[in-house]
Amino acid sequence: MAAAGAHNVLMIGPPGSGKTMLAKRLAGILPSLTFDEAIETTKIHSVAGILKSGGGLVRECPFRAPHHTISDAGLIGGGAGVPRPGEVSLAHNGVLFLDEFPEFPRNVLEMLRQPIEDRVVTIARSSMTVSFPSGFMLVAAMNPCMCGFFGDATRECRCTPAMIQRYLGKISGPLLDRIDIHVEVPTVPYKELREGPAVESSAEIRTRVQRARERQVERGYNNARMPTRMIRKLCELDDAGERTLEMAVRRLGLSARAHDRILKVARTIADLGGSEAVLAKHVAEAVQYRSLDRNYWN
């Protein structure tokens, strides 16, 4: 779903539950870059000095996974002399994966808010101002607490409530608001690990993602990048859908930004199901992906 609509996603779960593996597999189910996207991405990598000699255009979606010790200049861009693109720009048209999300410095995380919203980074110097595109898909992964086992059914958490709140408090509300999908990734039981049912291959999933993306191209907007003025038109709800959304906004105390992101995710769910209309069931499912932060942060 995240791949189909290019939605930002936060995964919460204990160590070893597969969060990092899921993030790395995501790049393999994204559609290849269009020619214009390939040109744009190649230019950024060339400016950064990481373009392979004789490698030609960058055809596959970038996947960047900086360590949590990265500086603000390394993530956003900057440096001495002429500013250089940071990880948010190197991930343009691709995925920016931030593992151990709360371990990144708070000031570095807060700097993500503007690139996520505006899809561009502007670096000002006394002698110049440089702008780099930053249209990335954010994929973040984190443990639910410092020891990693809060809420785990098989292992006991050693953290106090104060420690858990302090750990989760490293992620601000405004930043969470900019992440469309919040999912819990539990530990896989041994029996399921050994005898789990057959699952779709990456190629099969990529085909479904491609079909959903083609629907969005026909409408003129990628769902995650749909401008606010078009949401009401492209995500029109019937009476049942309106009631479902209104109830969610009231009960969960959602912001206007969260309201819009629910509609965008619901539109993607409808696209994956081949539905022209956004139905109440699509809204209800999208709401579930916004409620996890209330379970942990409240």
What pLDDT is stored for residue 198 in this prediction? Answer: 63
> Which distant-in-sequence residues (6+ apart) come within 8 Å of 81 by Cβ?
none
What pLDDT is stored for residue 221 in this prediction? Answer: 86
pLDDT(3) > 80: yes
The structural domains of the chain, with segments of one domain joined by +, span: 2-195, 202-297
Tens-digit pLDDT profile for residues 59-106:
999 999 999 999 999 999 988 788 999 999 999 999 999 999 999 999
282: left (phi over 0), alpha (psi -120 to 50) or beta: alpha
Q: Rounded mean pLDDT of 144-161?
A: 92
Q: What percent of the chain has pLDDT over 90?
A: 76
Tens-digit pLDDT profile for residues 267-285:
999 999 999 999 999 999 9
Query: Residue 168: which of 140, 146, 141, 138 has the closest Cα?
Result: 146
User: Which residue is associated with the tokens 């993306």?
Assistant: 213
What pLDDT is stored for residue 297 in this prediction? Answer: 61
Can you name the residues that pair with 272 across neighbouring β-strands? none
Tens-digit pLDDT profile for residues 233-269:
999 999 999 999 999 999 888 889 999 999 999 999 9
CATH of domain 2-195: 3.40.50.300
Q: What percent of the chain has pLDDT over 70?
A: 96
Tokens describing residue 147:
């020891």
Give me the chain's average pLDDT, please: 91
What pLDDT is stored for residue 4 in this prediction? Answer: 96
Question: How many angstroms separate the CA atoms of 180 and 263, rounded?
Answer: 10
What pLDDT is stored for residue 135 in this prediction? Answer: 96
Per the CB < 8 A criterion, the answer to whether 184 and 292 are in contact is yes
pLDDT(143) > 80: yes
pLDDT(291) > 70: no
